[in-house]
Amino acid sequence: MAIFVVILGMFINVHVKKFLVSEEVYFPQLNTLSQFYPWSPPHYIFCNSSSPSLLPVLPTNFSTGITGSTSRESPRDIWHSMSDEELMWHASMVPGIKEYPYKRTPKVAFMFLTRGELPLAPLWEKFFKGHEGLFSIYIHTSPEFTNEPPNSSVFYKRRIPSKPVQWGRVTMIDAERRLLANALLDFSNERFVLLSESCIPIFNFTTIYNYLINSKKSFVSSFDDPRPIGRGRYNKRMWPAITISDWRKGSQWFEVNRKLAIEMVSDVTYYPIFRDHCLPPCYMDEHYFATLMNKLCPELTTGRTITWVDWSRGGPHPTTFVRKDVSKAFLNRIRDSRCSYNGKSSTCFLFARKFHPSTLQPLMSIAPKLLGNVITTISWVIWFLIAMYAIVDYVIWLALFPHDYPCNPEKWSKNTSSTSAPSNPGIQYRFKPSSYSAAADDDILNDSSSSALSVNDVAKIDPET
């Protein structure tokens, strides 16, 4: 019985996993969101356009060595020699064929804007583990940083050609557009999220992937701020292309779908205006994308970010959290925030910042509960229930048939010179009677018609019970 329970448990475990990772479970709303996130054919309704357009793609025989459009996987090494102008041009291209030449699985592009190495890389490694094929990684670093992680790392060979970045300057926007353009070259990438070296995920990969892929809108922080640090930064030289009513402010940490990502790298109208007229104390990373989305596609964004920060202490920068600040209760407070999502109430944030490198150790301690895979958790629950059922079944069996226990010699006659109990076809003996002897055993084996044992000495059962 116990063996049967174990086999049944293995069968259930395998099929539960298949069910959980099936498209029907992970993408239950895709059929209703076909105008935003189609699988095939890939139609997209672009901003201010009533006609469907198609996804951009890098030409198959591109000379830089980047994998061509027929590749099913993103290239391991994404380095190339294109200038920014060439890169933006290729990233903004759209194919004329509607259907993909293979089954496309939409991926989330994680774009890291860093100065050097990722101090919280071990946490991200744990986050990505086991989800290959559902994500891509792109890293923009300082040009002088050339260190590579081990080739077993998900961050190996994921640096893109980079240029120096200054906080609050146009070079910050250039780096973000550079990340977007490189990620757009892999047209399996469907969602694009910008992260910093101090960002952490506050949910597991499955939760974040489902949240982004199934979202009807993108997440670009954009709001009208009447204060001097909002409207006060507007430059009248931007008129008439950009008016004061168009002007918006927002967090630079955005998440967009592929359609909006193309709009962001294709803009040649508003980018030069911001580059020339948004100078400190106007900070382009706080206003450019927020205003651009308000101008082009305000109905396709939520106006909020999915990256949490703490501005409660004031100043030009948000709070940086150190080792002593990190706890499960602290992270759960962030996770428990509620916002509108696809017309319903859901969590507001998927990521948080700014976390100092010293937070890595406590974060790794919390990670099993914070980033635990739902499939792994359910598998363990299934096995636990199976084990408990087997134990209870065995205890009941012992209680009902204690003399069946094979290691209890007291239930057998002391006169047991034979090593095996008597047997007849179709009959199972519950126990050997006290009158049993080896001689009787010989009589039974030699003459099936003899009856050395009385009917009162032997308990017969139906073999089928």
From 26, 24, 433, 35, select the one nearest 258 (Cα to Cα): 35
Residues 349-370: tens digit of each pLDDT: 999 999 999 999 999 999 987 7
Mean pLDDT, residues 169-178 taken together: 97
The full DSSP string for 170-205 is HHHHHHHHHHHHHHHTSTTEEEEEEEETT-EESS-H
From 88, 58, 47, 87, select the one nearest 265 (Cα to Cα): 88
pTM: 0.70
Helix (H, G, I), strand (E, B) or coil at 318: coil
Residues 27-82: tens digit of each pLDDT: 333 333 333 333 333 334 456 554 334 444 444 334 333 444 444 556 677 889 99
Contact 284, 173 (CB under 8 A): yes
Alpha-carbon gap, residue 402 to 458, rounded angstroms: 17
From 288, 268, 269, select the one nearest 278 (Cα to Cα): 288
Residues 198-217: tens digit of each pLDDT: 999 999 999 999 999 999 99
Alpha-carbon gap, residue 107 to 134, rounded angstroms: 5
Both structure tokens of 9: 């448990």
Both structure tokens of 168: 């609050």
Place of tokens 């209680």: 399
Buried b (16+ CB within 10 A) or exposed e, 200-229: bbbbbbbbbbbbbbbbbbbbbbbeebeeee
- pLDDT above 80 for 4: no
Which of 51-65, 161-175, 226-240, 278-292 shows the lowest per-residue confidence on average (mean pLDDT)?
Answer: 51-65
**What DSSP designation does 77 have?**
-
Place of tokens 């060595």: 65
Amino acid 31: pLDDT:
33
CB atoms within 10 A of CB 126: 19
Which of 102-111, 269-278, 352-361, 383-392 shows the lowest per-residue confidence on average (mean pLDDT)?
Answer: 383-392
**pLDDT above 70 as % of the chain:** 67
- pLDDT above 60 for 21: no
Mean pLDDT, residues 242-262 taken together: 97
Beta-carbon contacts of 171 under 8 Å, excluding residues fewer than 6 positions away, are 163, 164, 165
Is pLDDT larger for residue 272 or for residue 426?
272
Give the phi and the psi of residue 346 in degrees, each rounded to 5: -150, 180
Contact 414, 394 (CB under 8 A): no
Bridging pattern class, strands 107-113 and 135-140:
parallel
Both structure tokens of 286: 């706080």
Residues 119-173: tens digit of each pLDDT: 999 999 999 999 999 999 999 999 999 999 999 999 999 999 999 999 889 999 9
Residues 395-416: tens digit of each pLDDT: 776 777 665 545 555 544 444 4
Amino acid 331: pLDDT:
96
Amino acid 33: pLDDT:
32
Alpha-carbon gap, residue 233 to 230, rounded angstroms: 6
Helix (H, G, I), strand (E, B) or coil at 414: coil
Contact 66, 73 (CB under 8 A): no
Give the phi and the psi of residue 201 in degrees, each rounded to 5: -80, 145
Amino acid 66: pLDDT:
41
- Mean of the per-residue pLDDT values for the chain? 78
Q: How confident is the model at residue 460 (pLDDT cuts 50, 70, 90)?
A: very low
Contact 383, 12 (CB under 8 A): no
Task: Give me the domains of the chain, ranges plus CATH numbers.
Answer: 29-380 (3.90.550)
Mean pLDDT, residues 13-17 taken together: 46
Q: How confident is the model at residue 20 (pLDDT cuts 50, 70, 90)?
A: very low
Alpha-carbon gap, residue 415 to 421, rounded angstroms: 12
CB atoms within 10 A of CB 142: 13
- pLDDT above 50 for 438: no
From 430, 423, 425, select the one nearest 461 (Cα to Cα): 430
